[in-house]
């Protein structure tokens, strides 16, 4: 009898020790993953795969590490191999759906989640994932139904509750007000203020209307700007717009513009997450001059909300009493996070520009060169409110300088 008790106790100790080891290596993988030490995390997983090659749960951990490290193609292959052996595990279908979502293959992600729901319709987390995917596809009503199902299954599900609240009233409009001031060492100060309303009517169409007022050189001016944007997944966004003004000789009398914006996700690199390229043309008609600017801007996205942009502009100036000429200018900006406190986030940027950068102002056209140094801050107050500010110093030819600063407040509803 005593011998049997000893054997049972020994077996229980072995089982507990085995479970402790299992938990230990999984915790180590998570810790290395949080530190972005992918080589160490993958080394642990590969060791466990070699120890138990037929354990699909271990191989699922390998697929997760591949996905976390940005190796989406390899992760997809791993999940397909797992599903070929155990097609009835909803967790693996969810993992495959996550890979598809990271690759921008949203419809394939939805199909994988449909399969996961079929296998286990009583899991709230699967319904939440499906709701998020439906919302990404521009199907808010279907997403709302899925969030409701998740809450029915698990009333304590935080993601489901947040998704259901947001689905009741996604912000479609943004109202932004702002003021700016330019201080010169060779002329009187300039001031301007404006208000803009941007409306997202559908996932495809967006409009923007703005009214700006100016007090420059003792003269008052005002203008109205309107634009229309069409956006299609995989095709980018095209914006066209125009402006009319009571110019008083200090701002353009009329303006016309268009820009094309296209973003790309880069899955092969964990360092560079994506890039966005914008091409724009803008026409300014002054009472005494005509300006055409051609601009190209490339925005690079890095991990942890770091960004870097480079913009190049060619400006063709034509005055009533002279010929036409082209003048180049450029701007580079580095954006970075500063801190986060619950829902509040603070980010900053620094920038440097060379040449005449703002052809919407009469003092920015003509024969002069400049260098501009500046920076800005953006405080996300809540999910629907933010405050931005900037300051810049410009050195012009002929020992002239300009200091600029301003801020804007935005609210979404």
Domain of 42? Answer: 2-120
Q: What is the pLDDT of residue 159?
A: 83
pLDDT reading at 30 higher than 90 = no
Residue 213 belongs to a domain: yes
* 257-276 mean pLDDT: 85
Which CATH number is 371's domain given? 2.40.160.60
3-state secondary structure the chain: CHHHHHHHHHHHHHHHHHHHHHHHHHHHHHHHHHCCCHHHHHHHHHHHHHHCCCCHHHHHHHHHHHHHCCCHHHHHHHHHHHHHHCCCCHHHHHHHHHHHHHCCCHHHHHHHHHHHHHHCCCCHHHHHHHHHHHHHCCCHHHHHHHHHHHHHHCCCCHHHHHHHHHHHCCCCEEEEEEEEEEEECCCCCEEEEEEEEEEECCCCEEEEEEEEEEEECCEEEEEEEEEEEEEECCCEEEEEEEEEEECCCCCCCEEEEEEEEEEEECCCCCCCCEEEEEEEEEEEECCCEEEEEEEEEEEEECHHHCEEEEEEEEEEEEECCCCEEEEEEEEEEEEEEEEEECCEEEEEEEEEEECCCCCCCHHHCCCCCEEEEEEEEEEEEECCEEEEEEEEEEEECCCEEEEEEEEEEEEEC
Residue 22 belongs to a domain: yes
pLDDT reading at 198 higher than 70 = yes
**Whether residue 112 sits in one domain with residue 191:** no
pLDDT reading at 49 higher than 50 = yes
Cβ neighbour number for residue 64 with a 10 Å cutoff:
21
Structure tokens at 101: 């979502």
**Whether residue 102 sits in one domain with residue 188:** no
pLDDT reading at 365 higher than 70 = no
Pairing mode, strands 385-396 and 219-232: unpaired
**Whether residue 191 sits in one domain with residue 324:** yes
- 228 within 8 A of 199, measured Cβ to Cβ: no
Which CATH number is 26's domain given? 1.25.40.10
Q: What is the pLDDT of residue 103?
A: 87
CA 365 – CA 368 distance, rounded (Å): 8
Give the count of domains, the chain.
2
Using the structure block, give the residue that is written with the tokens 């052996």: 85
**Whether residue 187 sits in one domain with residue 108:** no
Q: Which residues face 377 on adjacent strands?
A: 348, 389
**Which of 78, 104, 120 is a domain's end point?**
120
Q: Which residues face 87 on adjacent strands?
A: none
- Average pLDDT of the chain? 87
- 45 within 8 A of 61, measured Cβ to Cβ: yes
Higher pLDDT, 11 or 276: 276
Q: What is the pLDDT of residue 99?
A: 93
**Whether residue 187 sits in one domain with residue 93:** no
* 111-122 mean pLDDT: 94
Q: What is the pLDDT of residue 357?
A: 57
Q: What is the pLDDT of residue 343?
A: 73
Higher pLDDT, 269 or 82: 82
Whole-prediction pTM value?
Answer: 0.65
Q: What is the pLDDT of residue 36?
A: 84
Q: What is the pLDDT of residue 341?
A: 85
Q: What is the pLDDT of residue 326?
A: 84
* 334-362 mean pLDDT: 84
Q: How confident is the model at residue 1 (pLDDT cuts 50, 70, 90)?
A: low
**Which of 115-129, 205-219, 273-287, 316-330 is predicted least confidently?**
316-330
Longest dimension (CA), the chain: 113
**Whether residue 310 sits in one domain with residue 193:** yes
**Whether residue 278 sits in one domain with residue 354:** yes
Residue 271 belongs to a domain: yes
**Whether residue 111 sits in one domain with residue 179:** no
pLDDT digits (tens, 9 = 90+) for 401-411: 999 999 999 99
Residue 71 belongs to a domain: yes
Q: What is the pLDDT of residue 389?
A: 97
**Whether residue 196 sits in one domain with residue 99:** no
Using the structure block, give the residue that is written with the tokens 């080891």: 21
């Amino acid at each position: 009898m005593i011998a049997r008790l000893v054997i049972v106790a020994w077996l229980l100790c072995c089982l507990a020790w085995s479970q402790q080891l299992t938990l230990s290596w999984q915790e180590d993988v998570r810790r290395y993953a949080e530190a972005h030490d992918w080589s160490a995390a993958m080394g642990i997983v590969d060791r466990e795969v070699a120890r138990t090659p037929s354990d699909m749960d271990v191989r699922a951990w390998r697929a997760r590490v591949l996905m976390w490290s940005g190796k989406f193609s390899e992760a997809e292959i791993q999940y397909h191999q797992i599903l070929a052996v155990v097609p009835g595990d909803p967790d693996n279908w969810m993992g495959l759906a996550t890979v598809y979502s990271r690759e921008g293959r949203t419809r394939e992600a939805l199909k994988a989640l449909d399969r996961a729901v079929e296998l286990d319709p009583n899991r709230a987390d699967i319904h939440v994932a499906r709701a998020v995917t439906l919302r990404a596809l521009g199907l808010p009503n279907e997403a709302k139904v899925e969030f409701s199902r998740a809450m029915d299954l698990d009333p304590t599900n935080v993601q489901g509750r947040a998704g259901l609240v947001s689905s009741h009233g996604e912000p479609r409009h943004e109202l932004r007000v702002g003021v700016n001031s330019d201080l010169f060492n060779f002329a009187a100060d300039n001031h301007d203020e404006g208000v803009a309303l941007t409306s997202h009517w559908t996932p495809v169409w967006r409009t923007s209307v703005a009214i700006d007022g100016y007090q420059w050189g003792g003269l008052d001016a005002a203008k109205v700007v309107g634009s229309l944007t069409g956006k299609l997944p995989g095709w980018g966004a095209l914006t066209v717009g125009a402006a009319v003004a009571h110019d008083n000789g200090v701002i353009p009398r009329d303006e016309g513009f268009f820009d094309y914006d296209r973003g790309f996700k880069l899955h092969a690199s964990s360092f560079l997450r994506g890039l966005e390229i914008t091409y724009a043309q803008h026409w300014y008609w002054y009472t005494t001059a005509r300006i055409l600017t051609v601009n190209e801007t490339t925005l690079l996205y890095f991990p942890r909300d770091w960004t870097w942009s480079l913009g190049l502009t060619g400006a063709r100036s034509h005055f009533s009493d002279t010929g036409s000429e082209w003048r180049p200018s450029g701007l580079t900006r580095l954006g970075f996070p500063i801190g986060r406190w619950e829902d509040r986030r603070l980010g900053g940027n620094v920038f440097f520009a060379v040449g005449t950068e703002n052809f919407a102002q009469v003092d920015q056209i003509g024969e002069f060169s400049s260098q501009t140094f500046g920076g800005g801050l953006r405080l996300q107050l809540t999910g629907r409110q933010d405050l931005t500010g900037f300051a810049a110093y410009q050195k012009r030819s002929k020992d002239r300088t300009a200091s600029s600063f301003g801020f804007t407040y935005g609210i979404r509803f």
